[in-house]
Structure 1
Amino acid sequence: MTDRHNAFLSDMAEATRLTQSGRLGEATALIQRRLGVPGRSPEDAPPADASAGPHAVPRLEGPAARLGTEAAAATAHEALIPERLRENIDQMMQGLRTLAPSLRGLVGGGLHAPKPGGLEPEGVETEGGQFVERSFSNAAGARDYKLFIPSPRSGPRPLLVMLHGCTQSPDDFAAGTRMNALAEEEGIYVVYPRQSSRANAQRCWNWFEPGDQGREMGEAGIVAGLVRAICTEHPIDRSRIYIAGLSAGGAAAANIARAYPDLFAGLGVHSGLAAGCARDLPSALSAMRVGAPGAAEPGGAAGFGAGAVTQNLRVPTIVFHGEGDGTVHPRNADAVLAQAGIDALTPRRERGSSGRHSYTRTRYADETGRVQVEAWSVQGAGHAWLGGSPEGSYTDPSGPDASRAMLDFFLGHSLPGGRG
């Protein structure tokens, strides 16, 4: 092979690696340089708007928070590419995924062979466990994801699904929530599905689209299928599968838990919205600004048609919301709680403080005294994951610790049935 051909293969292999790592901006820039596409370098790209938060829908104003540099670079690069060229590059990137084993074999290194059921692993060793990059596809669609695999334990283990907010990535969300470190302590698997910029320009989960809210359809169907696939590959306790998310991810988590109460034993909604509270962008904006009328009615939320079986069953739910949230109105937390059925439960409130925040924690117990719903209303907090790490975007390190509270709540709940 000629030196030029070898250089081309080397660049394409590097673009493949960057793509699989979620670094689409860098991969796109590399392809542009190889193809001689006119355009600006990353240094010439316009700066990202640091005042944007992990909004539930694209480009809404909200409290300032640190934007992940990787997400900003990807968005800036994509904005520089003409639509027709972007389509060609998208096709090339898809081809690169398919050719990855051959390319990597030509220039060194290697990939694991694809696994049955749409799973394609590439592992990365981390201290006390593994954090691996994979992909999944089914009839509802396809998404990449990252999976935290804890150090080996005896017996089936719980699984937690974590849905990131807009502009975030699995790595960013994992770092900001510190969930992997806590999961290692408890021996819990954690999966972070990755929203693609092709599905939503700002990588928001499409929680306001009816086609993504119901059972066996759209993004809800993809996440549920992904969970089932992980259960076939790893020793997962199917009675202890939980789902949580931030902002758009929290709203999507509510949709998915409502559509699959037979799959999830617990739901966590941080700065999010009630299931099915919007059917399009205008209703989403309205819900975010003032709350969604009617979403609080059990079984009455929009977006669930035929096929949403066991719709009236409720999933044990924990809610975190900052009282100063200017992106998603705190009234939305009340709608999530209403869907969880707090009217039939007995509340017990306690007040406390953590760092610079005071909070009210309300636990709602059933007639046996078991807590089925928990709500944290945090004074002075905005639109950010509470108690998170500054290593990730959109976090408020002052606390209280939402990750620890969610895990404690989840591990107290399980579905009826076996563990395997």
Structure 2
Amino acid sequence: MSTPMLLSRADVIEVLRLARDGKLVEAMRALTDGPTEPPVADHREGAPPSFDYHTVASAAGERRFKLYIPAGHDGRPLPLIVMLHGCSQSPDDFAAGTRMNELADERRFLVAYPEQPKSANPNNCWNWFKVGDQIRDLGEPHLIAEVTRQILRDHAADEDRVYVAGLSAGGAAAAIMGTTYPDLYAAVGIHSGLACGAARDMHAAFSAMRQGAPAARLPVRTGPVVPTIVFHGDRDETVNPVNGDQASEQASGGPGVRTNVSHGETGTGIAFTRTIRFDDQERAIGEQWVLQGLGHAWSGGSVLGSFTDPRGPDASGEFVRFFLEHRLSARSA
């Protein structure tokens, strides 16, 4: 079967003009000869979504990542959310559990899932507890930043609306990214994670996970405050909930800000306390959600992925809502 011939708008106008002028032979010849220039594909209608592997290489090494491009993307700059999985997870597992790709279709943004290989950590954990992976332009922070920059270059993401989020070890890595690259990320999401610098070796990592980090160990933020949303279950037996408190306070630059506290419940057995932190100009710079009865799991996630609890408030939806309220250009140093 032959492929249907598509005429450009200019060709159609020319055929109609020839027919109007009574030049039917010329009009038929124009139709037979086909278009004078190839039609331009309209990606706004019917373009399928894509979820493919890519690779980034830098002085710090090489990493694969999966990039989700929503259906119907027409090439115009979209926000980008970088999602950092937890231990024993993969990009596909994390995407399924958080349902972030479905939200990307609804809210129009790109989603990147860097992959931590077993060669870097036998449990696929991001090495948030190693000093060399807590410093700008070194180790894993550099690799994750390079994933982000490559997408900005190759896929025309909106550099004013770039965000990073993660679960557990990925949440701790997201905290590090917000601290080390405040000029790259407009906001950060930390789910069941730890503050930047909570540990500097494996022994200290397990101690911090059990009881939080000693206050003296946590670095004081000296750069700009990066708006941060924190989710943590109060029944988390893997990462003590005090780590959520520490991550939230570190991100907001300390306790000296106004807060607004509210309470709610999902109707499925999970109540929550939501604290909004404001800076001295009354801008919301942080949110902390403490989820009563939730363990070490992505709140409101899908059972199709690991480490999820569908009963809780929709962490993915709240992260996206919070992210899209913030732009890099709106932040003051």
Q: TM-score under structure 1 normalisation?
A: 0.65
Runs of 4+ in 1 over 4 A off after TM superposition: 295-298
Secondary structure at the aligned position of 1:388 is classed as: coil
How far residue 140 of structure 1 moved from its aligned partner, in angstroms, is 1.0
How far residue 271 of structure 1 moved from its aligned partner, in angstroms, is 0.2
Partner of residue 226, structure 1: 147
Indicate if the aligned counterparts of 2:197 and 2:217 stay in contact, CA closer than 8 A: no
Letter in 1 for 2:147: L
**Unmatched 5+ residue regions in structure 1?**
1-125, 301-310
Query: What is the alpha-carbon distance in structure 2 between the residues aligned to residue 396 and residue 127 of structure 1?
Result: 33
**Residue 318 and residue 298 in structure 1: after superposition, are their counterparts in 2 closer, same or farther (change >3 A)?**
same
Q: Report Cα offsets for 1:47-88 as digits up to 9, x if no partner.
A: xxxxxxxxxxxxxxxxxxxxxxxxxxxxxxxxxxxxxxxxxx
Letter in 1 for 2:199: A
**Residue 271 and residue 295 in structure 1: after superposition, are their counterparts in 2 closer, same or farther (change >3 A)?**
farther
Say if 2:51 is the partner of 1:131.
yes
Indicate if the aligned counterparts of 1:128 and 1:184 stay in contact, CA closer than 8 A: no
Q: Report Cα offsets for 1:197-220 as digits up to 9, x if no partner.
A: 010001000000111111111010
Query: What is the alpha-carbon distance in structure 2 between the residues aligned to residue 273 and residue 345 of structure 1?
Result: 21
How far residue 391 of structure 1 moved from its aligned partner, in angstroms, is 0.5
Partner of residue 383, structure 1: 296
Indicate if the aligned counterparts of 1:251 and 1:269 stay in contact, CA closer than 8 A: yes
Q: Report Cα offsets for 1:302-331 as digits up to 9, x if no partner.
A: xxxxxxxxx522210000000000000000
- RMSD value over aligned CA atoms? 1.7
Query: What is the alpha-carbon distance in structure 1 between the residues aligned to residue 80 and residue 48 of structure 2?
Result: 17
Say if 2:267 is the partner of 1:346.
no
Query: What is the alpha-carbon distance in structure 1 between the residues aligned to residue 308 and residue 93 of structure 2?
Result: 11
Letter in 1 for 2:262: E
Of all paired residues, the percent bearing the same amino acid is 51
Query: What is the alpha-carbon distance in structure 2 between the residues aligned to residue 182 and residue 153 of structure 1?
Result: 17
How far residue 152 of structure 1 moved from its aligned partner, in angstroms, is 1.3
Q: Report Cα offsets for 1:203-254 as digits up to 9, x if no partner.
A: 0000001111111110100000111111110121101100000000000111
Partner of residue 60, structure 2: 140
Indicate if the aligned counterparts of 2:294 and 2:312 stay in contact, CA closer than 8 A: no
Query: What is the alpha-carbon distance in structure 1 between the residues aligned to residue 270 and residue 48 of structure 2?
Result: 32
Partner of residue 166, structure 2: 245
**Residue 143 and residue 154 in structure 1: after superposition, are their counterparts in 2 closer, same or farther (change >3 A)?**
closer
Query: What is the alpha-carbon distance in structure 1 between the residues aligned to residue 102 and residue 185 of structure 2?
Result: 22
Bigger shift: 130-139 or 333-342? Answer: 333-342
Partner of residue 362, structure 1: 275
Say if 2:138 is the partner of 1:217.
yes
Query: What is the alpha-carbon distance in structure 2 between the residues aligned to residue 212 and residue 368 of structure 1?
Result: 33
Indicate if the aligned counterparts of 1:296 and 1:336 stay in contact, CA closer than 8 A: no
Quick one: which of 281, 290, 297 aligns to 2:211? 290
Letter in 2 for 1:281: M
Query: What is the alpha-carbon distance in structure 2 between the residues aligned to residue 329 and residue 130 of structure 1?
Result: 37
More helix by share: 1
**Residue 153 and residue 409 in structure 1: after superposition, are their counterparts in 2 closer, same or farther (change >3 A)?**
farther
Say if 2:119 is the partner of 1:198.
yes
How far residue 276 of structure 1 moved from its aligned partner, in angstroms, is 1.2
Equivalent residues, number: 282
Query: What is the alpha-carbon distance in structure 2 between the residues aligned to residue 152 and residue 394 of structure 1?
Result: 30
How far residue 345 of structure 1 moved from its aligned partner, in angstroms, is 2.0
Partner of residue 242, structure 2: 331
How far residue 136 of structure 1 moved from its aligned partner, in angstroms, is 1.1
Partner of residue 319, structure 2: 406
Indicate if the aligned counterparts of 1:274 and 1:295 stay in contact, CA closer than 8 A: no
Indicate if the aligned counterparts of 1:163 and 1:193 stay in contact, CA closer than 8 A: yes
Q: TM-score under structure 2 normalisation?
A: 0.81
Query: What is the alpha-carbon distance in structure 1 between the residues aligned to residue 293 and residue 80 of structure 2?
Result: 32
Letter in 2 for 1:142: E
**Unmatched 5+ residue regions in structure 2?**
1-45
Secondary structure at the aligned position of 2:124 is classed as: coil
**Residue 129 and residue 414 in structure 1: after superposition, are their counterparts in 2 closer, same or farther (change >3 A)?**
same
Query: What is the alpha-carbon distance in structure 2 between the residues aligned to residue 182 and residue 296 of structure 1?
Result: 37
Secondary structure at the aligned position of 1:413 is classed as: coil
Structure number with greater Rg is 2
